[in-house]
């Protein structure tokens, strides 16, 4: 009897593997990142996820041309006013010259811009910031975005600033907060590489989890947070992988 239970656990582990960087499945095509209005962690984390996805998707050694597709950053007015606009010198070097910024007045226009971006085959990905829980961003609207993203293969990361977790059809929902950065070797008193405490709230194929992540030396690193395992029904699974860097998978 015990054998059967452990086999079942193993089966569960195989079918619902923990998320780790570099996992690229269809369900990442539409992600939501909840974050606070008072920090840039959400946008930075979404950018890191987008870059991670691009790196994982482009291992074609014969492709000698770089991916030069543009990407879209949609902001509504509240977001621009409260958290500012993207700053080119601060963007990742590979992305800064390809940015197209769309400034909309309200969430409805932002949703329109996102959908137009998702339907464009020449875009690498779309990042959008919408403040709060506007009425326009209903479950139907998010379902539209999911379908458009899946249909045209343009991934979307929607950053929800100071938003309640309402109904949404996003394939992955994250919570991103700033985390203390590792001290740089050169000047330990200075802020280090940007780090985030990222929690996977919901995903179709992965159990929830929480990681400290940072975009380090051209790849996304994730460290599992052992203490706060938010998966009571996958307890033995989380135990099996605890204490190891998931990036090693």
Residues ≥6 apart with Cβ < 8 Å to 119: 148, 152, 154
Choice between 104 and 168, CB closer to another protein: 104
Binding test (CB under 8 A) with another protein, winner from 3, 187, 232, 248:
187
Q: Which stretch binds another protein (CB under 8 A): 5-13, 115-123, 133-141, 223-231?
A: 115-123
Binding test (CB under 8 A) with another protein, winner from 40, 54, 159, 222:
40
Whether the CB-CB separation of 75 and 85 falls below 8 Å is answered with: yes
Closest residue by Cα to residue 48 from 81, 15, 72, 21:
21
* 94 sits near another protein (criterion: CB under 8 A): no
Residue in this structure with the two tokens 């996820």, named with its chain if needed: 49
Choice between 40 and 172, CB closer to another protein: 40
* 156 sits near another protein (criterion: CB under 8 A): no
Binding test (CB under 8 A) with another protein, winner from 180, 204, 226, 236:
180
CB of 237 to another protein, least distance (A): 28
C-alpha distance from residue 37 to each of 6, 78, 129, 234, 247 (Å): 44, 10, 10, 32, 29
Closest residue by Cα to residue 210 from 242, 169, 162:
242
* 165 sits near another protein (criterion: CB under 8 A): no
* 21 sits near another protein (criterion: CB under 8 A): no
Closest residue by Cα to residue 202 from 238, 230, 164:
230
Residue 204 CA to residue 207 CA, distance in Å, equals 8
* 197 sits near another protein (criterion: CB under 8 A): yes
Binding test (CB under 8 A) with another protein, winner from 18, 28, 51, 83:
83
Token pair in block for residue 235: 């307890």
Q: Which stretch binds another protein (CB under 8 A): 33-41, 55-63, 163-171, 223-231?
A: 33-41
Q: Would you give the distance in Å from CA 1 to the centre of its chain?
A: 40
Contact pattern for another protein over residues 227 through 246, marking x by CB under 8 A: --------------------
Residues ≥6 apart with Cβ < 8 Å to 35: 41, 42, 45, 159, 160, 161, 175, 176, 177
Choice between 86 and 207, CB closer to another protein: 86
Binding test (CB under 8 A) with another protein, winner from 112, 132, 206, 223:
112
Residues that bind another protein (CB under 8 A): 38-41, 43-44, 47, 70, 80-81, 83-91, 96-97, 99-105, 109, 112-113, 116-117, 119-123, 151-152, 154, 177-181, 183, 187, 189-191, 194-195, 197
């Amino acid at each position: 009897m015990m054998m059967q239970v452990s086999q079942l656990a193993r089966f569960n582990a195989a079918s619902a593997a923990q998320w780790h960087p570099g996992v690229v499945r269809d369900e990442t095509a539409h992600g939501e990142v909840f974050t606070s209005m008072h920090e840039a962690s959400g946008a930075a984390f979404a950018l890191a996820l987008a870059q991670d996805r691009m790196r994982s998707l482009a291992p074609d050694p014969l492709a000698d041309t770089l991916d030069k597709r543009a990407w879209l950053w949609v902001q509504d007015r509240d977001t621009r006013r409260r958290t500012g606009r993207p700053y080119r010198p601060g963007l990742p070097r590979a992305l800064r010259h390809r940015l197209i910024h769309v400034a909309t007045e309200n969430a409805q226009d932002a949703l329109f811009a996102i959908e137009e971006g998702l339907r464009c085959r020449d875009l690498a990905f779309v990042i959008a910031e919408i403040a709060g829980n506007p009425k326009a961003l209903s479950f139907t609207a998010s379902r539209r975005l999911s379908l458009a993203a899946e249909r045209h293969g343009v991934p979307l990361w929607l950053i929800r600033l100071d938003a309640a977790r309402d109904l949404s059809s996003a394939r992955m929902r994250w919570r991103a907060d700033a985390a203390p950065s590792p001290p740089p070797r050169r000047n330990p008193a200075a802020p280090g590489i940007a780090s985030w405490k990222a929690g996977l709230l919901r995903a179709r194929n992965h159990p929830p989890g929480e990681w400290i992540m940072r975009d380090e030396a051209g790849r996304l690193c994730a460290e599992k947070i052992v203490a706060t395992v938010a998966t009571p029904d996958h307890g033995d699974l989380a135990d099996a992988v605890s204490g190891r860097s998931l990036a090693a998978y």
